[in-house]
Structure 1
């Protein structure tokens, strides 16, 4: 899989904070950040005044802060989301200069969009970029943002929630492999998540929005639909799983809820597909080896 992979994690450790300070002392980064000196000093003060190993709560005052990890679970940057009313501003930095030029910025933007629109429920996402930061300008344009305003010192881009959902449905969200879901499964799952919240719901809603919807009678027999059983390879380990609704989940019987990391990850994929997904706080490679049972293929449309 060649598509750059990024995951955003809210937990901030002392080691992360020290890495952030190093990034914010790099003039190639700070020249584009209007308040970078202030941010760097603030982080250093946070480190000095507390000995706590986890500093997450201190970084989430006045906004939400996330470390960005690549597929090798190495921190490569950060995202900050600041919501004011119905609008949200995104601040993004790829701090690891060795990773520049690998399209990690665009992947990080997409993850930030997911959180802003599906978790924080923003109506508009705004990015304010230094006009000389050509790499960031291109990344936001590739991600579907539109120019909102421009001055000699600041270029503002924005995307509305409606545009974001259209972006996903058209398959323009940067996901290299499309997924398929039946009309019945989508309706049931949308009812399921209507009043739920949390990271699992965000990921599931994202997958539902970007999926190609088909009639149950027309879904290919090698697609993982709800209540399917499949043989997976997780890194180097093979095992069977059943994808079920939350009330039917049973880890002892390898029945994984669609809310679980593995459950959301495999929904709608086909035999032969391989994906990177963050499971239990680390990135894993999942390959769909074989669909062993699919209700639609067996004529069990009631499941």
Structure 2
């Protein structure tokens, strides 16, 4: 049985402050514990009042928990669409996203589930993560949000994320964004990313070719970073930026490590040569000394800091690398 929900949580925070964008990650694995959490969320009438079939959803989850004795329930939740739990930077579940693709179009449904999380500006960050998956992973041409007219906070949040009105009825407002609009917003740095990153023209061309043949969650993140990066000539990149084939001293939470950022064919984890298609590799591309970011690494959120760029090909005049 598929979960088919239309509508949005009424208390998505509308005021998005770019420099204070909360960290959200979307994770595809759904466990029994997640299902129990979802059931608790859907018992709250303030959460379900704009979800057209919340009773059906609650009943489905109860049946799954009662009849299916499996620790992982991902395949059941992905019937008819793709379901993701939304986590904050402390790896606590704060909501969910469902993406349903029909032809070239994709519909997004989301809920911020716990009242304690309302007002933390999680809604816009969750929408942006859903956009990333819809456009860069599922390759949708258009992303659609269908919202109840009384759901003012959700209406405002989707507008602030760049969605445009598409249709309007007394019972439903439809907003949409195209793939082209999304990429333009990324390149204009209008998606709430607080830290600029830099990439050389040569690295961007090579990495675009790489993305066409590589797959996986880190590759989606890598494409997102490439599209939003400020592109510079190799001779003009600042010497403290992590470019391809750079070596850098980084911190992964409290662990210090020396790494080289390389292409997949040159990767060797034991020698500290990290593929740009790995979690940490995709994370550090384009950042400078002193930058620190939250990033999902091996299933949990880590704090990655760039302490020092030890070697950069461009700074050394090694433009052939």
TM bin (shorter chain): over 0.9
Q: Find the aligned partners of 2:63 and 2:257 in 1 and give their Cα distance.
A: 48
> Which residue of 1 is the match for residue 175 of structure 2?
157
Deviations 1:33-92 (A, max 9, x none): 111111111111111111100000000000000000000000000000000111000000
Q: Find the aligned partners of 2:90 and 2:216 in 1 and give their Cα distance.
A: 25
What's the CA shift for 1:134?
1.7
> Which residue of 2 is the match for residue 68 of structure 1?
86
What TM-score comes out, normalization by structure 2 length? 0.93
Matched, 1:272 2:290: yes
> Which residue of 2 is the match for residue 125 of structure 1?
143
The runs of 5 or more residues in structure 2 that have no matched partner are: 1-18
What's the CA shift for 1:3?
2.4
Equivalent residue in structure 1 for 2:46, among 21, 24, 28:
28
Deviations 1:263-285 (A, max 9, x none): 00000000111100000110000
Q: Find the aligned partners of 2:104 and 2:169 in 1 and give their Cα distance.
A: 24
Aligned-partner SS, 1:165:
helix
Q: Find the aligned partners of 1:273 and 1:183 in 2 and give their Cα distance.
A: 22
Q: Find the aligned partners of 1:132 and 1:267 in 2 and give their Cα distance.
A: 42
What's the CA shift for 1:242?
0.6
> Which residue of 1 is the match for residue 6 of structure 2?
none
Q: Find the aligned partners of 1:180 and 1:279 in 2 and give their Cα distance.
A: 22
What's the CA shift for 1:233?
1.2
Give 4+ residue runs of structure 1 displaced > 3 Å after superposition.
none
Q: How does 1:1-303 map to 2 (within 5 A)?
A: 2-303=20-321
Structure showing greater relative contact order (alpha-carbon pairs closer than 8 Å, 6 or more residues apart): 2
Structural RMSD (CA): 0.9
Aligned-partner SS, 1:144:
coil
Q: Find the aligned partners of 1:190 and 1:143 in 2 and give their Cα distance.
A: 26
The runs of 5 or more residues in structure 1 that have no matched partner are: none
Q: How many residues align?
A: 303
> Which residue of 1 is the match for residue 5 of structure 2?
none
Q: Find the aligned partners of 2:116 and 2:152 in 1 and give their Cα distance.
A: 18
Aligned-partner SS, 2:316:
coil
What TM-score comes out, normalization by structure 1 length? 0.98
Q: Find the aligned partners of 1:180 and 1:96 in 2 and give their Cα distance.
A: 37
What's the CA shift for 1:200?
2.1
